[in-house]
Amino acid sequence: MDLIWAPWRIWYIQKATTQNGVCSLCSESKTTELDEDNFVLYRGKNCFALLNTFPYNNGHILIAPYRHVRDLKDLTDEEIIEVFRISKIAVNALEKSMGAQGFNIGFNVGEVAGAGCADHIHLHIVPRWSGDTNFMPILGDVKIISEALKNSYERLLPYFRGVLK
C-alpha cells in the first residue's frame, strides 16, 4: 500500500464522521450562517449549489433541492427547473473561472448507482480538462485534487453571486 501524506484531509474526515446519521445535504441546506464553511455557492427558492467536499475533480459541484427527496420522480416541476437553471450558472462559472473544457453532469439515483448520499437526490457537475485523467489513477490507484476547496470556492463564488458573468 502506498502512503500519501495529506494532513489537510483531516477536516474532511472529521466533517464526514460528525454527521451521526443526519443527511449532510439537509444539514447544509438549513445552516445559512455556515455557507462559507459548507462551501455553499448559491441558494435559490427551492434548490442550492455547493462544492462537493469529496470531489472527483477540482470544482466538483452538487445541486440539490432543499427538500429531502430520494428520487428524481419525486421532484416538483419547480425544483427540476431550478436544478437546471443553477446548473447553467455552474457550467458558466467553471468554464470562466477554471477553464473547464467539458463536463460530466448527472444524477446517481440509489446506492447501487454510486450515490454517496442516496436518500437526498442531487445533480453532480464535474468539470473536465484534456489530460485530467493521467497515469496516477490508472497505475497508482490515486486521484490527485490539485486545489484546496477554499480556493475553488473563492474562485467560483463571484459567478454565482452575479458579480462576474
- 122 burial (CB, 10 Å; 0-12 / 13-18 / 19+) is buried
Q: Would you say 63 and 117 are in contact if contact means Cβ atoms under 8 Å apart? A: no
123-128 β-sheet, strand order: 40-43, 47-51, 61-65, 123-128, 102-107
60 in active site: no
The helix-helix angle for 149-160 and 77-98 (nearest 10°) equals: 110
Q: Which of 60, 120, 122, 124 is catalytic?
A: 122
CA-nearest of 55, 60, 26 to 156 is: 60
Catalytic machinery residues: 122
